[in-house]
Each structure stands twice: as structure tokens, then as C-alpha cells.
Structure 1
Amino acid sequence: MKLTFLGHSSILIEVSGHRLLFDPFITPNPLASKVEITSLRPDFVLLTHAHGDHVADAETILKYSGATLISNYEIVTWYGAKGLTHGHPLNHGGAFNFPFGRVKYVNAVHSSSFPDGSYGGNAGGFVIETPEGTFYVSGDTALTYDMKLIADRYQLEFAVLPIGDNFTMGPDDAAIAAEWCGAKRVVGVHYDTFPPIVIDKDAAKATFAANGVELLLPAIGETIGL
């Protein structure tokens, strides 16, 4: 698997011959000014929840790419009303087999509404099983005991967790989340984009290391193998 960090919580994962784009917030993010969204060419766009810093570029990318949207029922329905009908809705605890693997929509503790105030359903995360390994993208969330259920059922290659604090878990809770879900490698997201979520990256890595977890913080635009 290859993962490209696109800034904030936006990541592109290449797995099983498909390109999965998560939570595209790119053009409004000055830190990601060198990322060209028309170059991403996703086959699937996965949205964890409806906040603007996770869906800002979703409509544009879905239109140009023809990608299939995977998200909760409310988000898929909202985009369907805009004519973007290539969508597959999930709800918490449900899973479905896609060409690249099996996607399960799992709990997250967070709010969710679109920038226009429309209801975005309940926030969630994804556990994705593929022939190349299983991984967990938590979306924005607090630390929750539900994460222990992931370790009970899956063996993760890695997890993608927010670490910026203030609106989500900070490094202390995220390191515990990694332990609970069974991830020995974590890609940190949702940090440094706005003043309240600027972190000390060296201190964050040390916090994870104390729990026996490697925290990966790729540069925006950098691709890493996982």
C-alpha cells in the first residue's frame, strides 16, 4: 500500500489497484497549495463526516473523476441531490465488499454538519480489509472504548488518527487509541492547519514511542509505503 498525505486529514491510499481519497480539504488549505486536485484521479472518495475541513473539495473531485462516494447515508444522499449519484451509503456497524476490499463504517465521537448547516448524519470512521492488509481511518474523534473492538476483530497494518487536540484527540489520547485498536504504526492527521491545533511534532512522536507505537508524519505531498 502507498499513502500520500495531502494536508490536514486528506490522504490518498493506493491499494489493490485502486485509488482511495479520504476527506479532501485541499484548495482552501494554504499549507496544501502545491497539491493539484485534478491530479488525484481517485476511484473512490470516502468521507468520514460532513464538516467543511473534510468535504471542501469533494463535490469538485467527484464531478471530474466519476469516483464512487462512500460515506454515511445522510452524506451520500446530500450529494445525490446534487446529481452525484455514484454513491454507496453505509451506517454504523455495516460493511460492504468493494473491488478493493471490504469497508466497515465504525463509530466516532464527533459532530457532523455540512457548511450550509445541513445535517451530516453521525460521524464515523472506516476499517478497510484488503488483500494487502487491513487499516483503520478513524476520522475526527475522541478517544472511545469502541476502539478496543477493532483490536478484537482485526490485525491492523496501520491506523490514521487525528492528533491535533482541541477539536479531536491530542497526542496523549491518540497514543492510547493506537494501543486500544492494535496499531503499531500511526499516520497522524488533523494537526497544524489552524492555530488551535498546532502541535509539537517531536513531543508527539515521543508520546507515541512511549506506548510502543511509531508515529508517521509525512510532509504534504509525500508518499510513503505501508
Structure 2
Amino acid sequence: MQITYYGHSCFLVETGGKKVLFDPFITPNVLAKSVDVDTLKPDFILLSHGHQDHIADVERIYQNSKAFLVSNFEICTWFNKKGVENYHPMNMGGSMEWSWGSVKMVSAIHSSSFPDGSYAGNPSGFVVQSEGKTFYYAGDTALTLDMKLIAEEFKIDFAFMPIGDNFTMGIKDALKAADFVGTKKIFGMHYDTFPYIKIEQNDVHEVAAKAGKELKLFEIGETITI
């Protein structure tokens, strides 16, 4: 399984012979100016919610890839009206299996609306199982006791979690969230992109280390194998 970071909350996971892209916000992100979005040709795009900083490049990437869009019903139908024909709507608590793995949609505590102000359904996270590994993509969320239910059903190997604070969890709540879902390995996201979510990376690494957690902060464009 390979993981590549494209800035903000956007990750590409290559697993089971497929490329799965999460929350593409690349071209408007000045920190990701080195990324050529037209080279991205995922097989699946998973969207956690409808905010601009998570969906900005969906249409462009879809035109280049015809990727299969997976999100809630409102997001799928909104993009369908914009020409996205390949999609699968889900809702909270639902699961679906594909050849490369399974996806369960889980709750997130946040807001969600489209750039035009219309209703984008409930925000979510995802639990993904593939290649013998299970990971949690939290999306934009606050700390919630619902995360403990994830640990009751799954053995989470690693988790993508927001750590930028202000709009989502900060590092301290993300560490509690890691305890709740039962993992020691956190891949940080949703930080540094805007002034509101700037962090001191040395400080968050120190806090995570003291809590006995392995926190990974990617360089944009960095790929790891796990």
C-alpha cells in the first residue's frame, strides 16, 4: 500500500491495484503549487464533505480520469449535475465492498455546504479495509465519543486525522481520537494551509511523542509505503 500526500487533506492511497484519492484540494492551495493535478488519474475519489477546501479539483480530475466518486447522496447528486456520471452514494453507517477493498462511512462532527451555499448533507469520515490493513480517514471533525465505536468493530492500523485546530480537532484532541479508535499511528492533515490553521510542527511532534503516538507529517508530494 502506497500513500502520497498532495496537501491539506488530500491523500492518494494505492491499494488492491487501484488508486483512491481523498478530498482533492490542490490547484487553489499555494502550498501545493508543485503538484500537476492533470497527472492524477485515480480510480476512485472519496469525499468527506462539501466544503471548497475538500472538493475543489473533483471536476477537473474526473474529466482526466473518469474516477468513481464515493460520497454522501447530496454530494454525489450535486456533482452528477456537473457531469460526473460515475458515482456511488452512501450515508452514515453504510458499507460497500469493491474489488480493491471495503469502505464504511462513519460520522464526523463538522459543517458541510457547497461553494454555492447549498446543502451538502452530513460530513463524514471513512473506514477503509484493503490488503489486510484497516485505516480511518477522519475528514474534518471534532473529537467525538462515536470514535470509540470504530475500535469496537475494527482494528485500525493507522488514521488520517486533522490537527490544525480552529475548524477541526487540534493535536491534543487528535491524540485522544487515536486512543478512541485504537491506533498509535497518525497521519496529520488539515494544517498550515491557511493562517487560521498554522501549527508549530516541532511542538505537535513533541506532544505526540510524549503521548506515545507516532505522528507523521508529510511533505507535499511525498510517498511512503506501508
Once the two structures are superposed, residues 108-148 of structure 1 have per-residue CA deviations (whole angstroms, 9 ceiling, x without a partner) of 00000010112110000000011231100000000000111
Separation of aligned partners in 2, 1:224 and 1:144: 29
CA-CA distance at 1:88 after TM superposition: 0.3
Moved more, 116-125 or 202-211: 202-211
Alignment length (residue pairs)? 226
**Structure 1 residue aligned with 2:110:** 110
CA offset digits 1:156-193 (Å, max 9, x no partner) = 11100000000000001001101111111110000000
Paired letter, 2:145: Y
What is the one-letter code of the residue matched to 1:63?
Q
Amino acid at match of 2:11: I
Query: Superposition pairs for residues 137-156 of structure 1, below 5 Å?
Result: 137-156=137-156
Task: Name the SS of the counterpart of 2:38 in structure 1.
Answer: helix
The verdict on how the C-alpha distance between 1:100 and 1:52 changes in structure 2, with shifts beyond 3 A counting, is same
- Give the distance between the partners of 1:40 and 1:150, measured in 2 at CA: 31
Unaligned segments of structure 2, at least 5 residues: none
Q: Alignment partner of 1:96: what SS?
A: strand
> Counterpart of 1:76 in structure 2: which amino acid?
C
Cα distance between partner residues in 1 of 2:172 and 2:41: 35
CA RMSD of aligned residues (A): 0.8
SS at match of 2:28: coil
Once the two structures are aligned, what percentage of the paired residues are identical?
A: 54
- Give the TM-score normalised by the residue count of structure 2: 0.98
SS of 2:157's equivalent in the other structure is: strand
Instruction: Name the TM-score, length of structure 1 as normaliser.
Output: 0.98
The answer to whether the 8 Å contact 1:218/1:224 transfers is no
Given residue 109 of structure 1, which amino acid in structure 2 is its aligned partner? I
CA contact 1:5–1:220 (8 Å) conserved in 2: yes
Task: Please give the residue correspondences for 1:59-74 in structure 2 after superposition, counting only pairs within 5 Å.
Answer: 59-74=59-74
**1:177-222 Cα distance to aligned partner (Å, 9 max, x none):** 0111111111000000001100011111122222221000010000
Paired residue type of 1:64: N
1:12 Cα shift?
0.5
Matches within 5 A, 1:160-179: 160-179=160-179
CA distance in 2, matches of 1:166, 1:130: 32
Moved over 4 A (4+): none
Q: 2:209 aligns to what?
A: 209
Distance 1:217 1:132 in 2: 24
